[in-house]
């Protein structure tokens, strides 16, 4: 590598190529190929609209040559080829490419037959009416700006985007190692979906699909089936089948014809007709006597396929669907840039990120308007002082040459800004000021300032503004769906093919998970050594084991207070000694995030609550229905303070008693009614007061009149059951009572469970061993005792987790 000073730097070519290619790849990903999740634009589209906005090429102004706009974009913001800018500009003006055109073109901008646009020196364009709303309030400090390529000018990093453009117009692009293909949607439906999320924060994916039915292509067509839509909206990837819309008409002479009135998205009409002609000539499709294109100049599709006298129109149509692009697939990849990084997004995530963006825009706009109003009010206060002393003010100005400002400030206590505002006025204007007008303007400003401060202090008001602005957009530009959605033949829910059965799910310390049949483990006598329950790496061990149905919704709560969900059958099944699947391949966990609690849910019924306990003794109760919108990408279940973790979650009916147990053997019991229901993101209240660096390791809920016993297991394999009558109900927030006599021999408590004589219990060690025994074989002892040996740990292993097996689950084995 030559340097200006003549020296040569030797470098490893492999490392140099790797570094250079990574730089190139990131440049393509971020600067060219992928849209931003907030405004749905790639940089070139954003720069085109911003340049037109700066040049005043708005809908109410005359068209301007495209060459002029392309030159402005190239010269100011986009140092690439002119064809890349013009091609992007042309697509923004095509009503068969965009569901809602961002540019109003005048001239030949191409056609659905694949005809190219005229040269940029011939075509003219201006912003469309809807695109104006992409830049509304951009001058009010609503978005960040960055230097352009040569640092002469500033350009926006994103547009304010009052239109949810990413979903409304979709996007497609091929980057390096990844691609995006987001279909367009109906504006009215997308806005209805956003409003529903704002009104009902716990809206589920299924409920969201009641508002947003599916993609809505500008070329109309028919989408077959909802499964591909559902998969794409829930996972960010899916494939849908799109079919041309066709009608069969009867003709004279006992003949029929097929009229094609719409095509799948991005299908070239001319090539389709050419392909049909070729298939007829090759006799791969029979029964067609004539083929005509009667589409009009406005790109309204009308392809006439006349049939022979003895041809069956439905059979011919089916052949056309099978052998031509009259039926095509659209692969959905909802990939967009989030904070400059490419991410696969679900439908809910796309809308959530847009709502967050609009919230930020409105807050920044409000702050800008508040600052402006405060500045004007400050000047008006100075003018009021000047009016009260108008003669003296005028005398000071007339008698002073270069120190009038300082004299005004000293005499009347004015600020520099107020004094300058007075001096900037002509004496005639100053003397002619009317107090009533100034007072009226000042009072109006005070009301505006109060309102703006209310907005900044109220999330509800911000959301109300978002809704109002979206409703305005919907009323101006909303329309009916163009693409129909019909059920596919034989469409079914994948769950219908999954047999409902009980299973055991194991989760390891390093995050491997698997599903196993419940009869994998047979009961053993107390004091046994157990069988190998799961193969682990030497330093890994089974952390958690639970039972569920394959049809249950499994709620996974992480130590960081987030909630994820899977269906039981979505957890891969594996053998008893198999390692399992890394849970990060199933859930979008952050670095350092681990699953700390699991709740199988049959349905999200009213009257049920999730009771949560943290390591530092806090407890929270929230209605189960608030978590129905949980998704694989995570939902905040509880807000945690620093150095705290979520350790247990239980499903209750709100009428139980709560038991909290610490690892040092303390326990408190209190009425669940002492914990009022809170919102999804609340922190909770004090459940137990901890001493000597103690931490909570278990929580249970006790149903009134329960005959169960409290089972406690220690890390050295000791355990006991204790009657619930020994635990008196106390006030929430106390220190509790002793529930276990902790000694070096027993070790600290690792788990507690409410059990009855019909239960079995599983003990799991840190080396992967599991022992299963009958609960009625475990002694019932008093609170202040150390228990009996349940599992030998002579090899230095420690018990790390326990799980009970219910009677009905035992029946499954039999």
Beta partners for residue 172, in sequence order: 181
Torsion angle (degrees, nearest 10) of CA 38, 40, 45, 48: -50
Pairwise CA distance, residues 802 & 545, whole Å: 7
b or e along 467-489 (b: 16 or more beta carbons within 10 Å of the residue's beta carbon)?
eebbeebbeebbeebebbbeebe
Spatial distance between the Cα atoms of 467 and 142, rounded to a whole number of angstroms: 18
What sign has the CA pseudo-torsion 659, 662, 665, 667? negative
Is the four-CA dihedral 79, 82, 87, 92 of positive or negative sign? positive
122 is catalytic: yes
Query: Quick one: which of 454, 448, 447, 473 has its CA closest to 358?
Result: 473
Which of 180, 158, 163 minimizes the C-alpha distance to 171? Answer: 180
What is the rounded distance in angstroms from the CA atom of residue 521 to the CA atom of residue 803? 12
- Considering the candidates 21, 24, 50, 122, report the single residue annotated as catalytic: 122
Number of Cβ within 10 Å of residue 587's Cβ equals: 21
DSSP string, 142-160: -S-EEE-TTSSSEEESS--
> b or e along 704-736 (b: 16 or more beta carbons within 10 Å of the residue's beta carbon)?
eeeebbbbbbbbbbbbbbbebebbeebebbeeb
Angle between helices 66-76 and 43-54 (to 10 degrees): 110
- What's the order of all strands across the beta sheet hosting 103-106? 64-65, 124-127, 103-106
Q: How far apart are CA 260 and CA 247, in angstroms?
A: 7
C-alpha span between 33 and 36 (Å, rounded): 10
Residues near 393 by beta carbon (within 8 Å), at least 6 away in sequence: 386, 408, 412, 422, 430
State the DSSP code for 9. -
Element (H, E) at 357: helix 347-388
Q: How far is the C-alpha of 152 from the C-alpha of 92, rounded, in Å?
A: 27
Neighbours of 339 (CB within 10 A): 9
Phi, psi of 771 (to 5 degrees): -125, 140
Q: To which residue do tokens 């104006």 refer?
A: 132
* Structure token digits, residue 724: 């619930």
| CB-CB contact of 163 with 134 (8 Å) | yes
Query: What would the two tokens of residue 368 be?
Result: 């800008």
How many CB atoms are closer than 10 A to CB 376?
16
Q: Could you tell me the CA-to-CA distances from 8 to 133, 378, 477 in Å, in that order?
A: 54, 63, 62
Point out the residues that are catalytic.
122
């Amino acid at each position: 590598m030559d340097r200006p000073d003549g020296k040569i730097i030797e470098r490893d070519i492999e490392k140099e190529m790797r570094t250079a290619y990574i730089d190139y790849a990131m440049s393509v990903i971020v600067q060219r190929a992928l849209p931003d999740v907030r405004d749905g634009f790639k940089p070139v589209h954003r720069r085109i609209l911003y340049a037109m906005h700066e040049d005043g090429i708005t809908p109410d102004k005359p068209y301007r040559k495209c060459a002029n706009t392309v030159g402005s974009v190239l010269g100011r913001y986009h140092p690439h080829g002119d064809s890349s800018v013009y091609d992007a500009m042309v697509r923004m003006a095509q009503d068969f490419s965009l569901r809602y055109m961002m540019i109003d073109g005048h001239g030949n901008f191409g056609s659905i037959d694949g005809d190219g646009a005229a040269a940029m020196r011939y075509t003219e364009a201006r912003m469309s009416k809807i695109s104006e709303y992409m830049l509304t309030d951009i001058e009010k400090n609503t978005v960040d700006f960055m230097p352009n390529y040569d640092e002469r000018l500033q350009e926006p990093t994103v547009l304010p985007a009052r239109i949810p453009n990413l979903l409304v117009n979709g996007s497609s692009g091929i980057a390096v190692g990844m691609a995006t293909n987001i279909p367009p949607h109906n504006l009215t439906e997308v806005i209805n979906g956003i409003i529903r999320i704002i009104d009902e924060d716990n809206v589920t994916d299924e409920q969201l699909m009641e508002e947003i039915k599916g993609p809505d292509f500008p070329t109309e067509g028919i989408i077959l089936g909802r499964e591909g839509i559902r998969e794409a909206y829930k996972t960010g990837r899916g494939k849908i089948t799109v079919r041309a819309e066709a009608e069969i008409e009867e003709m004279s002479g006992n003949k029929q014809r097929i009229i094609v009135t719409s095509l799948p998205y991005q299908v070239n009409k001319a090539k389709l007709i050419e392909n049909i002609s070729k298939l007829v000539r090759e006799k791969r499709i029979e029964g067609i006597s004539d083929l005509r294109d009667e589409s009009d100049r406005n790109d309204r599709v009308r392809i006439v396929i006349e049939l022979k006298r003895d041809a069956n129109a439905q059979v011919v149509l089916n052949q056309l669907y099978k052998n031509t692009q009259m039926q095509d697939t659209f692969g959905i990849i909802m990939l967009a840039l989030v904070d400059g990084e490419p991410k696969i997004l679900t439908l809910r995530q796309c809308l959530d990120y847009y709502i967050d963006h609009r919230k930020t825009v409105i807050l920044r706009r409000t702050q800008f308007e508040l600052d402006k109003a405060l500045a004007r009010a400050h000047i008006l206060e100075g003018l009021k002082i000047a009016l009260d002393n108008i003669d003296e003010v005028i005398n000071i100005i007339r008698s002073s040459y270069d120190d009038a400002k300082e004299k005004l400030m000293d005499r009347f206590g004015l600020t520099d800004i107020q004094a300058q505002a007075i001096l900037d006025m002509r004496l005639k204007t100053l003397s002619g000021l009317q107090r009533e007008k100034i007072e009226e303007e000042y009072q109006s400003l005070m009301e505006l300032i109060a309102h703006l401060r209310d907005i900044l202090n109220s999330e509800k008001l911000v959301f109300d503004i978002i809704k109002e602005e979206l409703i305005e957009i919907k009323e101006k530009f909303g329309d009916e769906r163009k693409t129909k959605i019909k059920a596919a033949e034989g469409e079914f829910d994948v769950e219908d093919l999954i047999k409902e059965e009980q299973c055991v799910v194991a989760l390891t310390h390093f995050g491997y998970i698997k599903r196993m049949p419940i009869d994998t483990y047979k009961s053993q006598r107390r004091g046994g050594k157990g069988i190998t329950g799961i193969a682990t790496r030497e330093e890994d061990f089974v952390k958690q084991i639970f039972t569920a149905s394959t049809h249950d919704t499994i709620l996974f709560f992480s130590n960081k207070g987030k909630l994820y969900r899977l269906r039981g059958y979505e957890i891969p099944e594996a053998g008893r000694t198999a390692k399992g699947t890394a849970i990060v391949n199933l859930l979008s966990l952050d670095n350092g995030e681990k699953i700390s609690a699991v709740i199988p849910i049959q349905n999200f019924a009213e009257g049920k609550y999730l009771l949560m306990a943290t390591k530092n003794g806090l407890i929270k109760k929230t209605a189960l229905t608030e978590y129905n919108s949980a998704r694989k990408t995570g939902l905040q279940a509880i807000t945690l303070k620093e150095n705290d973790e979520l350790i247990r979650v239980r499903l209750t009916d709100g009428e139980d008693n709560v038991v909290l147990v610490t690892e040092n053997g303390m326990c408190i019991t209190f009425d669940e009614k002492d914990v009022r229901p809170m919102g999804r993101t609340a922190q909770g209240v004090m459940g137990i007061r901890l001493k000597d660096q103690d931490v909570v390791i278990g929580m249970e809920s006790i149903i009134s009149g329960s005959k169960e016993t409290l089972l406690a297991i220690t890390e050295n394999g000791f355990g006991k059951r204790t009657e619930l009558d020994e635990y008196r109900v106390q006030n929430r927030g106390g220190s509790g009572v002793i529930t276990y006599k902790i000694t070096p021999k027993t070790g600290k408590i690792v788990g507690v469970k409410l059990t009855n004589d019909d239960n079995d219990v599983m003990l799991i060690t840190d080396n992967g061993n599991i022992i299963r025994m009958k609960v009625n074989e475990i002694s019932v002892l008093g609170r202040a005792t150390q228990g009996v040996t349940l599992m030998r740990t002579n090899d230095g292993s420690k018990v790390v987790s326990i799980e009970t097996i219910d009677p009905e689950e035992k029946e499954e084995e039999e």
